[in-house]
A and B are shown apart, each in its own frame.
Chain A
Amino acid sequence: MNLFDFTDGREGYYGEYGGTFLPEILHTTIEELKLEFRKAKEDPAFWQEFLQLMQSYSGRPTPVSYLENLSKKLGGAQIYVKREDLNHTGSHKINNVMGQGLLVKRMGKTRIIAETGAGQHGYATATMGARFGFDTKIYMGAHDVARQRPNVFWMENMGAEVVAVTDGQQTLKDAINECLRDWVTNMDNTHYVLGTACGPHPFPEMVSWFQSIIGKEARQQMLDNAGGLPDRIFACVGGGSNAMGLFQGFLDDEAVELVGCEAGGLGEGKGNHASRLAYKDASVGVAQGMKTYFLQNDDGNMLETHSVAAGLDYIGVNPVLVHLWEKERVRFEAVTDDEVTEALKMAMLTEGIIPALESAHGFAQAIKEAATMKPSERVLINMSGRGDKDIFTIADALGDEHWKRFIAQKADEYKAEKEG
């Protein structure tokens, strides 16, 4: 299945979803980007350069780990995990970012901007900016800055300027709007490093292409080390980049079921979650450069969203995944905040791994389903990122008293330092 062959349809469309909905002032810029991307995609040397960079700088290929303890404990399917958390900067975001960085060099631009939700994409972009010598500015919702301070710390220390966006809900979507505003002013020297497989064409295709490295590796690793392909694969879906990355490796394997796991937050009901497809609270709209499913009201204004995981807390979803969902190639499920916390605890206690809160959505759903499957079956989870960054949120969710005491003590020290 070649999702990106547009010869029989409209370029940038997947079924009726996708498209390029941008102000006219960006027309020339986006055309230039399409052209450069097309050239890069058709140039085998470019993918080789990308692979080498990811090997030498980010530790690829990331392994697939067999979770023997967890599999035994559940007594169902054998559980495998693709370890994107072992990338440099701790998540799959670096794949897309380094790829776009190589493209920026080809385009001769010197300045990059990016939005970030959880901060993983901003962190990866700041890393790439430092490595390639670009002037870097990261837009982040003020609400996310408050809950993801450790990532902000690293971004700033790698020389990026971090701007807290105070418009709207002060989360990911507002940071994207702010990037578009920057881009319409500075498109001559600036590339917008969009972090997920959303936004106007060619971003959904381009980000999916760089992330496809995950699925390519994972498929081969399952064949080599697990004795065969998985029966089901699980990935969390915010914008959809890690899911697109993993799923593309298995699209043509019809026996492999693809499961997208969305943020169920507090459960069904508008405003309680960030699930666009598993729950029935979203509808088709056009915003943030694309036509897709959005959590919106009858007037087309976007709803508040909620998730314990900042990286999944988003109103829209990758248009390719919507298309695959309609064709019943991808199944969507929602996982609540409470289920996520339980899955995270189980992963830490039985296997000593710390999935990010985002990735823990995939774990929760896989754990639920694996228990009902046969021991001869296999499941694969994409561990898109590591959870160390979420220490404040996780500590709150677990109600860890020792951690609270430590933070209070630190606060006292800083206070004394200031007053002293």
Chain B
Amino acid sequence: MSSLKTYLTERRQDKDCLIMTHVVCGYPSFEDNWKELEIMQQFDVDMVELQFPFSEPSADGPLFVKANQAAIDSGVTVADCFEFMQKVTAHFSFKVIMMGYYNTVFKTGQEIFLQKLADAGAAGFILPDLPVDEAQELYQIGTQLDLAPIVLMTPTNTDERLAKLAESADGFIYTVARRGVTGSQTEMDNEVATFVGRCRQATDLPLAVGFGVSEKKDIDFIAKHADIAVIGTAALRAWEEGKEAALNAFFKKLLA
């Protein structure tokens, strides 16, 4: 079992709903990222995804597409992301997950990339364009380094497929509450509850619910049905609207 799973299971005993937030490395800048993370720490978030920008972010919605492109245009490199991650894990107490696209890993070399990730203090990695069928070697290396491979479960998967996904997963499961890209609105309804229930049947790992969480009622819903709420686009939108003040107000309202 990964230490990430242990960490999350222990935190979950004291909290109704764990929180995972998301930052695109170097967007709008690493200084801004740091300020965002300080606020996230104040609100006691449990995990943060640090996204390594990629030129073809095909699973991301418009806001993150723009963020990825802007970060690359401003010269952010993979080396910068590792350096930043190192600083973050040394300073903050939340766990850090690498999020990005498989080509970033492949081009660096699977073993080298994961070793660097472990050295930078990451607890796991999420690669939304790498299906488990293509990931077995990478996952094995990750497990040896105590880096949890985070697997996505989606409403279109059959129960049989969910069981297969569960076999490869560690740390927690990222359940995709709706179809579509990041940042789209989701009505937290029965359909989602049923889907999360199917995931629960397939695994005993903590369940994170992603895509479109933006309000207090979403958190209440997740607290009831799953373990971890994923806050992505809504937090970046708040930062873009009014930096520290707006992000603070967003979390205050969300986690009231």
Contact = CB atoms under 8 A, between A and B. Distances in A.
A299 interface: yes
B106 A286 contact: yes
A21 B134 contact: yes
B61 interface: yes
A19 interface: yes
B66 to A, nearest CB: 8
A24 B131 contact: yes
A339 to B, nearest CB: 29
Given A21-B129, A21-B130, A302 B156 contact: no
Q: Top 3 closest A-B pairs, CB basis?
A: A300-B107, A185-B180, A301-B55
B134 A24 contact: no
For chain A, give the interface size range. 35 or more
A177 interface: yes
Given A296-B107, A298-B107, A28 B134 contact: no
A25 B165 CA distance: 12
Nearest to B81: A299
A300 B156 contact: no
A299 B181 CA distance: 24
B230 to A, nearest CB: 15
A182 to B, nearest CB: 9
Interface in A346-390: none
B131 A22 contact: yes
A286 B165 CA distance: 21
A59 interface: no
B140 interface: no
B129 A28 contact: no
Contacts of B153: 24
A20, A21, A180 — most chain B CB neighbours (10 Å): A21
Given A28-B158, A29-B156, A299-B78, A184 B181 contact: yes
B65 A167 contact: yes
A interface SS class:
mixed
A227 interface: no
A111 to B, nearest CB: 14
B156 A27 contact: yes
A70 B215 CA distance: 70
From B58, B101, B103, B161, name the one whose CB has the most chain A CB atoms within 10 angstroms: B58
Contacts of A19: 134
A127 interface: no
B241 interface: no
Interface size for chain B: under 10, 10 to 19, 20 to 34, or 35 or more residues?
A: 35 or more
Interface of A: 19-29, 167-168, 173, 176-177, 180-181, 184-187, 283, 285-288, 291, 294, 296, 298-302
Contacts of B59: 23, 180-181, 184
Contact of B165 (A24, A26, A285): A24
Contact of B128 (A23, A168, A299, A301): A23
Nearest to A302: B55
B118 interface: no
A167 B131 contact: no
Interface in B38-57: 53-57
Contacts of A20: 131, 133-134
A20 to B, nearest CB: 7
Interface in B164-220: 165, 176, 179-181, 184
Contact of B57 (A22, A177, A299): A177
B179 A285 contact: no
Nearest to A19: B134
Nearest to B155: A25
B56 A27 contact: no
B181 A302 contact: no
14 contacts: A20-B134, A22-B131, A23-B131, A24-B176, A25-B154, A25-B155, A25-B176, A27-B131, A168-B55, A176-B58, A185-B180, A286-B102, A300-B108, A301-B54
Contacts of B77: 299
A168 B69 CA distance: 7
B104 interface: yes
A32 B72 CA distance: 36
Contacts of B143: none
Contacts of B180: 181, 184-185
Given A184-B59, A184-B181, A285 B154 contact: no
> Which of A23, A177, A291, A299 has the most CB atoms of chain B within a 10 A radius of its CB?
A299
B159 to A, nearest CB: 12
A298 B72 CA distance: 13
Interface string B140-166: 000000000001111111100100010
A176 B154 CA distance: 22
A225 B58 CA distance: 48
Contacts of A300: 54, 78, 103-104, 106-108
A24 B157 contact: yes
Given A24-B176, A25-B179, A283-B107, 13 more contacts: A20-B131, A21-B129, A21-B134, A22-B129, A22-B131, A24-B154, A27-B131, A168-B55, A185-B184, A285-B106, A286-B129, A294-B103, A299-B108
